[in-house]
Amino acid sequence: MPANDRRPTPWEQADIDSTGMWQVYDLGREAGTPHSLGDTPLDPNLVDWSPDDPERPMNWPSRTIWANLAIISFFRLLTPLASSMIAPATALVLHDFHSADQSLGSFVVSIFVLGYALGPLAWAPLSEIYGRLPVYHISNILFTCWNIGCALAPNLPSLLVFRLLAGMAGSCPVTVGSGSITDCIPKERRGKATAIFTVGPLLGPVLGPVIGGFLSEARGWRSVFWFIAIASAICALISFLVQRETYEPVLLERRAKRLRAVSGNSNIHHRRSAALPRSAVFSRAILRPLVMLVKSPIVLLTSFYVGLVYGYSYLLFTSFSALFTHTHGFSASTVGLTYLGFGCGCAIGLLIVGTVSDKMTRHAAAGVDWKPEARLRPLIPGSLIVPIGLLWYGWSAQARLHWIMPIIGSALVGLGTVAVVMPVQTYLIDAFPLHAASVSAANTIFRSLLGAFLPLIGPRMYATLGQGWGNTLLAVVAVVFTPLTWTMVRRGEDLRRRWPV
C-alpha cells in the first residue's frame, strides 16, 4: 500500500491535504524537527500535542481540572440563582415603584433570562477566538457591575435594563462552560461532569427564591442585588487567582508563538491556525449558533424541546408566590421554601441521569462505533414525567389540597426537566465537540427566549383558566411534542449526518 494511502496510527494525526491524500504528522514533536514517512514528508513547522503532553488540558492532574471546573460551576450556579432570587420580592419592587401590573412583576424576573438569549451570540464566538479565560474574566466583572446597577436602580425601567444586561453577562458560564467540559473531560466521562455542571442552571433558580425571600423581607429587595454583586465579585477574584485557560487552539498558538520567538522561524504554526483574519473569524463565529439552528434539524429540535420544558419551569416559578401566599397563607419569606420541591426533583434527576448516562453510553458503544445519540435515551421517560407533574401540580392547587401536594407535583416537573435538559446538553457537546460553545449558545438562545416570554402569559392564563385547566393546557402541549423525543433518539444520527453543519 502506498505510504500516503495508509491510515495513521494512534500516535499520529491525519488531515486531508488539498490533493485528497492523507497528510500524516507525528503528534509527539514540536515544530522544527523534520520527519518523513515513506514518500510523504511531514510538515517540519507544525506544532501539536503528544498523547501524554502535560500542557494539554485533558492530561492535567485531576485536581487542576476540577479546580477550574469548580470555579465555573460556582458561577454557573450564581447566575441562574440571580435570575429568580428577586421572584418572592416582586410585590415589594412594584410597591416601591408605584406599579400594580403583575405581568410587569413577572417581567422583572424573566427579562434576566432574555439576556441569556442575547449574551451567547457574543460570548461563544469570543471564547473560540480569544479563549475561555478572558471571556470568563470579563463576564464576571460585568455581571458584578450590572447587579450593582440593579441595587441602585432609581426606577423600574432602569431596573429592567440592568437586569437585561446582568442576564447577558451571566449567560457566559452557561454557554462557554460546555466548551470547558469538552476541553478537559474525555467523552466517556462527560456524563458525570455534565451532571455537576447542570446543578447550577437547574438548582440556581430554585435556591434563589429561598434566599431572596428571607433576605428581601429582612433587608429590602435591594439587598438581593447587593448579595449577588458581592458573591460574583468574590467569584471573579478567585477566578483571577486560580483559573487557567483550557481552549486547545489558544494553547497551541501560545506554544507556536513561543517557538517562533526562540527559533526565528515565522512559518511555525499549529493544526488549528486560522486561515482568515480575526474579523472574518468573529463574523462567522457570531453567526454559527444561528446557522446551526437553521441548518441542523437535530440542533433545532433539541433546542426547541429543551426551551419548551425550560419555559414551563420559569412559568411555574412565577406562579408559586401568588399560589402559596394567597391560598396557603405563606409569608413573603417562607414562600421561597416552596421552590425546594422543584429543587428536590432536580437533585433526584441529577443523581439518576448522571449515574446512568455514562454507563448507558458505554453499553451502547460496546463493540460498535460510539454514537452521541446514545446520550438522548433519558429524553423519553423525561418527556412523560413533565406533563404528569404539571397535571399533579395544577389540579392539587385547584382543589386547594394540602400545600405539600402541589410541591410534589413541582418536584415531578423538576425531575422531568433534568431528564430532558441534561441529556441534550451532553449530546450536543459530544456531537459538535470543536464548536461546543457555539452549539450550546444555539441551545441557550431558544431555551432563554421561551424561558423569558412564557412566564408572561402565566398570570392571565391562570386568571382565565385556573390552576387546573391552565396546567392541563401546558401538559397537553407537552404531550403533543412528546414524539419529538422519539424522533431525536431514533432518527438523530440520520438527521445529524444528512444535514451537517
Q: What is the mean pLDDT of residues 277-282?
A: 70
How far apart (Å, rounded) are the C-alpha atoms in residues 34 and 46?
A: 10
Averaged confidence pLDDT in the chain: 80
In this predicted structure, what is the pLDDT of residue 415? Answer: 92
The answer to whether residues 209 and 232 touch, using CB atoms and an 8 Å cutoff, is no
pLDDT tens digit sequence for 71-99: 888 888 898 888 888 888 888 888 888 88
In this predicted structure, what is the pLDDT of residue 365? Answer: 54
Burial label for 36, CB within 10 Å (0-12, 13-18, 19+), is: exposed
Q: Which residue has the cell 454514537?
A: 371
In this predicted structure, what is the pLDDT of residue 133? Answer: 92
9 pLDDT tier (thresholds 50, 70, 90):
very low
How far apart (Å, rounded) are the C-alpha atoms in residues 325 and 401?
A: 14
H helical segments located in 119-221: 120-127, 132-151, 156-184, 190-219
pLDDT tens digit sequence for 346-383: 888 888 887 776 666 566 555 556 678 878 888 888 88
How far apart (Å, rounded) are the C-alpha atoms in residues 419 and 416?
A: 5
pLDDT tens digit sequence for 397-429: 999 899 999 999 999 999 999 888 888 888 887
Phi-psi region of 197 (alpha: psi -120 to 50; beta: other; left: phi over 0): alpha
In this predicted structure, what is the pLDDT of residue 277? Answer: 67
Q: Mind giving me the DSSP string for 356-372?
A: HHHHHHHHHHTTS---G
Q: Mind giving me the DSSP string for 284-351?
A: HHHHHHHHHHHH-HHHHHHHHHHHHHHHHHHHHHHHHHHHHHHTT---TTGGGGGGHHHHHHHHHHHH
Percentage above 90 pLDDT, the chain: 21
The answer to whether residues 51 and 58 touch, using CB atoms and an 8 Å cutoff, is no
In this predicted structure, what is the pLDDT of residue 138? Answer: 95
In this predicted structure, what is the pLDDT of residue 6? Answer: 38
How far apart (Å, rounded) are the C-alpha atoms in residues 205 and 421?
A: 14
150 pLDDT tier (thresholds 50, 70, 90):
very high
Q: What is the mean pLDDT of residues 432-440?
A: 76
Which one of 104-113, 168-177, 282-291, 361-370 scores highest in mean pLDDT? 168-177
Which of 11-25, 206-220, 456-470 is the least confident region? 11-25
Q: What is the DSSP letter of 36?
A: E
Residue 36 CA, chain-centre distance (Å), reads 44
Torsion angle, CA of 473/474/479/482, rounded to 10 degrees?
A: 150
On the question of pLDDT at 385 being above 90, the answer is yes
Q: Mind giving me the DSSP string for 434-482?
A: TTHHHHHHHHHHHHHHHHHHHHHHHHHHHHHHHHHHHHHHHHHHHHHTT
153 pLDDT tier (thresholds 50, 70, 90):
very high
For 57-246+279-498, give the CATH class: mainly alpha
Q: What is the mean pLDDT of residues 275-284?
A: 69
Q: Which residues pair with 486 in a beta bridge?
A: none
Rg of the chain over Cα atoms, rounded to whole angstroms, equals 24
In this predicted structure, what is the pLDDT of residue 134? Answer: 93
Burial label for 366, CB within 10 Å (0-12, 13-18, 19+), is: exposed
Which of 40-44, 102-106, 287-291 is the least confident region? 40-44
The answer to whether residues 180 and 68 touch, using CB atoms and an 8 Å cutoff, is yes
How far apart (Å, rounded) are the C-alpha atoms in residues 481 and 485?
A: 8
**Where is 7: in which H helix or E strand?**
none
Q: Which residues pair with 25 in a beta bridge?
A: 13
Domain with CATH 1.20.1250.20 in the chain: 57-246+279-498
Q: Which residues pair with 16 in a beta bridge?
A: 22
pLDDT tens digit sequence for 39-65: 334 667 777 787 788 888 888 898 888
More reliable by pLDDT, 144 or 54: 144
Return all residues near 13 (Cβ < 8 A) that are at least 6 apart: 24, 25, 27, 48, 271
In this predicted structure, what is the pLDDT of residue 141? Answer: 95
How far apart (Å, rounded) are the C-alpha atoms in residues 113 and 237?
A: 25
